[in-house]
């Protein structure tokens, strides 16, 4: 008898039966970019189809995503230069448009899951994720600011906070701050293995948040490293993370699998701005079938072991399967 694996590929029905990985709208968190003002919708030039919305239009956009089954959103603010300073003061001003918008989203859609970002970069005049002193990015001194930012976001109604600066001791510190203030139910999705990647550039365009000096290599991980991701994951689990995230996703599928195989905590993967831009740019030129390339990439992320996928494709995926 000859083994003929092709028998299991002979028709769409059989292929459907033996399909090992299936994407669902429930897998996704859609990142959204927020700007100040009213009735503003501005396309990100390096991310065709992705916009920066003012609060009022973001509410409408969220409603339209929820009608397609996308229920989770990660909101990133773009602040004008004049609201930035060395200590990211604006990040915990309770009247700031970011926090007001989180409140408005939760008021309009209590059933939506809102994730917020905990890092200084959108509010920092240095464009770094932490405090900068004499060209150095300070670790422990940044904690107090992140604590205030986290509390302000929890008060505004965040369901999940995402410490994204890849510095040390974040998860434990922020867990304590949340618990001590009655926010035991707020989850932490730790950016566990976030690499110093070339694939974040369109995001930094979207937020005007690129570092003014230097790069992020003293806090984000070296793309050459895998074992180091296990050290980071050990710490995050010990410190109480509810989810471990790998970022970017596509160039790091091995890291997603590594964490999946070694931890019981759900694994998230961030299919970042540059990964979105690559597919969109080649599809615009007719070099790739954009829809198929999107589906194949998303599928590979899930197949590698991600339980949760943060992706700018979330809405497009949802419209396609609807």
- Is 84 designated active site? no
Under rule CB under 6 A, residue 195 binds ligand PBG: no
Under rule CB under 6 A, residue 121 binds ligand PBG: yes
Q: Which stretch binds ligand PBG (CB under 6 A): 131-139, 197-205, 226-234, 237-245?
A: 197-205
d(CA 74, CA 311): 10
C-beta atoms surrounding 124 within 10 Å: 26
Which one among 151, 154, 272, 304 touches ligand PBG, defined by CB under 6 A?
272
d(CA 279, CA 207): 21
d(CA 280, CA 286): 10
DSSP assignments along 60-81, one per residue: HHHHHHHHTT--EEEEEE---G
40 DSSP 8-state letter:
-
Question: From residue 209 to residue 248, what is the string marking binding to ligand PBG with x (rule CB under 6 A)?
Answer: -------x--------------------------------
Under rule CB under 6 A, residue 101 binds ligand PBG: no
Which one among 273, 279, 311, 316 touches ligand PBG, defined by CB under 6 A?
273
Q: Which stretch binds ligand PBG (CB under 6 A): 1-9, 14-22, 79-87, 117-125?
A: 117-125
272 SS3 class: coil
d(CA 193, CA 185): 24
Measured from the CB atom, is 170 or 175 closer to ligand PBG? Answer: 170
Q: Cβ 272 to ligand PBG, closest distance in Å?
A: 4
Is residue 293 within 8 Å of 251, Cβ to Cβ? no
d(CA 34, CA 191): 21
- Is 247 designated active site? yes
Give the pair of three-digit tokens for residue 51. 């916009």
* Binding footprint of ligand PBG, residue count (CB under 6 A): 11
DSSP assignments along 100-125, one per residue: HHHHHHHHH-TTSEEEEEE-SGGGBT
d(CA 277, CA 198): 12
**Cα of 254 vs its chain's centroid, Å:** 19
Measured from the CB atom, is 121 or 236 closer to ligand PBG? Answer: 121
Which one among 86, 100, 148, 204 touches ligand PBG, defined by CB under 6 A?
204
Under rule CB under 6 A, residue 126 binds ligand PBG: no
Under rule CB under 6 A, residue 268 binds ligand PBG: no
CA-only gyration radius of the chain, Å: 20
SS3 content of the chain, % helix, strand, coil (to 5): 45, 20, 35
Under rule CB under 6 A, residue 203 binds ligand PBG: yes
* Positions 140 through 179 that interact with ligand PBG (CB under 6 A): 164
Q: Cβ 36 to ligand PBG, closest distance in Å?
A: 19
Catalytic residue among 83, 84, 216, 247: 247
Q: Cβ 211 to ligand PBG, closest distance in Å?
A: 8
Measured from the CB atom, is 88 or 119 closer to ligand PBG? Answer: 119
Q: Which residues bind ligand PBG (CB under 6 A)?
A: 117, 119, 121, 129, 164, 200, 203-204, 216, 272-273
- Which residues belong to the active site? 194, 247
């Amino acid at each position: 008898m000859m083994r003929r694996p092709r028998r299991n590929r002979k028709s769409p029905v059989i292929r459907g039966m033996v399909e090992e990985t299936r994407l669902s709208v429930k897998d996704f968190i859609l990142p959204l970019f927020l700007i100040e003002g009213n009735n503003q919708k501005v396309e990100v030039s390096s991310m065709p189809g992705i916009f920066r919305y003012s609060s009022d239009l973001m509410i409408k956009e969220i409603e339209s995503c929820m009608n397609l089954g996308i229920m989770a959103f990660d909101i990133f603010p773009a602040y004008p230069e004049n609201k930035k300073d060395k200590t990211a003061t604006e990040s915990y001003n309770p009247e700031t448009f970011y926090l007001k918008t989180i409140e408005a989203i939760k008021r309009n859609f209590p059933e939506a899951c809102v994730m917020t970002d905990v890092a200084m970069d959108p509010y920092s005049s240095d464009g770094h994720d932490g405090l900068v002193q004499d060209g150095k990015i300070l670790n422990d001194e940044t904690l107090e600011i992140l604590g205030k930012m986290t509390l302000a976001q929890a008060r505004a109604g965040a369901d999940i906070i995402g410490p994204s600066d890849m510095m040390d001791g974040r998860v434990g510190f922020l867990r304590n701050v949340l618990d001590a203030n009655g926010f035991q139910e707020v989850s932490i999705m730790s950016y566990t293995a976030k690499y110093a990647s070339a694939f974040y550039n369109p995001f930094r365009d979207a937020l005007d948040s690129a570092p003014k000096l230097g790069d992020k290599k003293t806090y984000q991980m070296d793309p050459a490293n895998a074992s180091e991701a296990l050290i980071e994951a050990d710490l995050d689990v010990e410190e109480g993370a509810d989810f471990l995230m790998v970022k970017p996703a596509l160039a790091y599928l091995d890291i997603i699998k590594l964490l999946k195989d070694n931890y019981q905590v759900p694994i998230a993967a961030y299919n970042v701005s540059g990964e979105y831009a690559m597919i969109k740019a080649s599809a615009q030129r007719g070099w790739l079938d954009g829809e198929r390339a999107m589906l194949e990439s998303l599928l590979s992320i899930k197949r590698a072991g991600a339980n949760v996928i943060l992706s700018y494709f979330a809405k497009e995926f949802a419209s396609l399967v609807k």
